[in-house]
Amino acid sequence: QSLDELADSIRVQGLVQPIVVRPIDGGRYEIIAGERRWRASKIAGLDTIPVIVRDVSDRSAIAMALIENVQRENLNPMEEANALQRLVDEFSMTHQEAAEAVGRSRAAVSNLLRLRNLNDGVKRLVENGDLEMGHARALLALESDAQSEAANTVVEKGLSVRETEQLIRRILNPGKEKEQPSDALLDELDKIETLIGSKLSSKFALKHSATGKGKLVIDYSNMDDLKKLITKFK
């Protein structure tokens, strides 16, 4: 929703959700949450708007602003992923805590955070709207260089998410192009990847062959990461 559209809505209905501010020096107030609503209210010509005043620390103010940012409807997946990562890194939140803070499922948050494992070129395609969340998730199964080549193919040919998943599986299993997995199997593998993604914060790849065999590869950066992974399986 653009600012002008939001302003039109506010003209008709008023500002339904108050903005949140905190007092700062000089009798002034700093907006913590609701800057877009404030800007749209100015466009709509409102002289006064409802405000909630909270006396919060700098740290809490940043967390509140990040949470509202994630909850906006017009963010692209990479923007959501980056904001969620800040909540995890700067406020020591677990994936579950971040999910509760922004009103998402843990699986959705984990899948978004995994997008940060894409290479920079593919991230830009997601940011620009050339690739959807489903495309990006499928590309995570590939190494960095292969991600770029596959992503370009997806964009150039306008592949659907399902077609992208099939492309990735052909890349991972060369020589087996004629053996296409059934839709039921693809759905089942997608559910399994979502389940694994909800449990792990590490990059992983689920590789399934036409024979029914496969492997799950989980990346870790150091021994501490490995120990954390091990605790998740106990």
Structurally, the chain folds into a number of domains equal to: 2
Domain annotation covers residue 63: yes
pLDDT, residue 81, reads: 92
pLDDT, residue 130, reads: 95
Last residue of a domain, one of 56, 74, 96: 56
Residue written as tokens 């006064």? 48
Q: CB–CB of 223/198 below 8 Å? A: no
| Amino acid sitting at position 170 | R
Instruction: For residues 140 and 138, give the distance between their C-alpha atoms in angstroms, rounded to a whole number.
Output: 5
pLDDT, residue 73, reads: 62
Q: State whether 68 and 96 are in the same domain.
A: yes
Q: What is the token pair recorded at 28?
A: 């002034």
pLDDT, residue 166, reads: 92
Q: State whether 26 and 44 are in the same domain.
A: yes
Last residue of a domain, one of 68, 102, 117: 117
Domain annotation covers residue 215: no
Domain annotation covers residue 20: yes
The boundaries of the domain holding residue 21 are 1-56
Q: State whether 50 and 69 are in the same domain.
A: no
- CATH number of the domain at 101, please: 1.10.10.2830
pLDDT, residue 211, reads: 67
Q: State whether 20 and 65 are in the same domain.
A: no
Alpha helices in the chain (DSSP H): 3-13, 35-43, 58-71, 77-90, 95-102, 106-114, 120-127, 133-139, 144-157, 161-172, 183-199, 223-232
Q: State whether 63 and 34 are in the same domain.
A: no
Q: Return the DSSP state at 234.
A: -
Q: Show the CA angle centred on residue 161, arms to residues 155 and 167, nearest 5°.
A: 75
Last residue of a domain, one of 56, 84, 101: 56
Angle separating helix axes 35-43 and 3-13, nearest 10 degrees: 70
Domain annotation covers residue 24: yes
pTM over 0.75: no
- Please, what's the largest Cα pairwise distance for the chain? 71
Domain annotation covers residue 31: yes
Residues recognised as catalytic: 35
Domain annotation covers residue 100: yes
Along the 234 residues of the chain, how does pLDDT read in single tens digits? 578 888 999 999 999 889 999 998 888 999 988 888 999 999 999 999 999 998 888 877 888 888 877 776 677 899 989 989 988 998 888 898 888 888 889 999 999 999 999 999 999 999 999 999 999 999 999 998 899 999 999 999 999 999 999 999 999 888 655 556 667 777 788 888 787 777 776 677 777 776 677 788 887 778 887 887 787 776
pLDDT, residue 43, reads: 94
